[in-house]
């Protein structure tokens, strides 16, 4: 899914901020998930490639997007400070993930207040969209080209 969305950014249909809001900020808020320090991805916005018949690292044997040319690829995934994926290779063992729904002491995180919503238009996007107001700007990793 992410390469399709990165292609939409390259085509001027979405912004990186749109993707961050929909795949990180909003789910984090809706499901009361805590921040995940030292966890981020790096993408190459210029890499062009064709989606294969069967994607690696998934149980699905097919994709409806097979043969589609996309522009944008995930290059690196860092989880809790450890490189978990780089250039198509998974580097961590199965089960490396952690349950982030509770604090280390087992206490659930508090439910956040509802987001306010307003209609915004983006200079890079030709359609109006409903997007929650972001109360905090997301900063890229200080030494990486990531979001």
Instruction: Indicate the pTM of the whole model.
Output: 0.65
Q: Is 30 helix (H, G, I), strand (E, B) or coil?
A: helix
Domain extent, residue 8, equals 1-90
CATH number of the domain residue 78 falls in: 2.30.40
In a domain, 95, yes or no: no
In a domain, 126, yes or no: no
Give pLDDT, residue 56: 73
Give pLDDT, residue 99: 76
Give pLDDT, residue 53: 85
CA distance 117 to 106: 32
Give pLDDT, residue 138: 42
Give pLDDT, residue 86: 96
Question: What would the pLDDT profile of 93-112 be if each residue is shown by its tens digit?
Answer: 988 888 777 666 666 666 55
Phi, psi angles (nearest 5°) of residue 104:
-55, -30
In a domain, 108, yes or no: no
Tokens of 28: 């984090």
In a domain, 117, yes or no: no
In a domain, 121, yes or no: no
Counted domains in the chain: 1
In a domain, 81, yes or no: yes
20: enclosing H helix or E strand: helix 16-20
CB 10 within 8 A of CB 117: no
CB 15 within 8 A of CB 125: yes
Per-residue pLDDT of the chain (147 residues; tens, 9 = 90+): 899 999 999 999 999 999 999 999 999 999 888 888 899 999 999 999 999 987 777 777 788 999 999 999 999 999 999 999 999 899 999 888 887 776 666 666 665 555 554 444 445 445 444 444 433 334 444 444 444
Neighbours of 18 (CB within 10 A): 19
By CB atoms closer than 10 A (0-12, 13-18, 19+), residue 94 is exposed
């Amino acid at each position: 899914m992410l390469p399709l969305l990165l292609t939409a950014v390259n085509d001027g249909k979405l912004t990186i901020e749109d993707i961050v809001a929909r795949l990180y900020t909003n789910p984090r808020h809706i499901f009361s998930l805590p921040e995940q320090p030292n966890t981020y991805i790096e993408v190459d916005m210029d890499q062009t490639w064709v989606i294969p018949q069967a994607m690696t690292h998934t149980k699905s044997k097919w994709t409806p997007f097979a043969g589609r040319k996309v522009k944008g690829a995930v290059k690196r995934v860092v989880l809790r400070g450890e490189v978990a994926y780089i250039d198509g290779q998974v580097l961590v063992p199965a089960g490396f993930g952690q349950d982030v729904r509770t604090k280390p002491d087992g206490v659930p995180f508090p439910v956040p207040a509802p987001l306010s919503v307003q209609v915004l238009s983006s200079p890079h996007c030709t359609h109006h969209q409903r997007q929650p107001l972001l109360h905090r700007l997301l900063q890229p990793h200080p030494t990486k080209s990531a979001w």
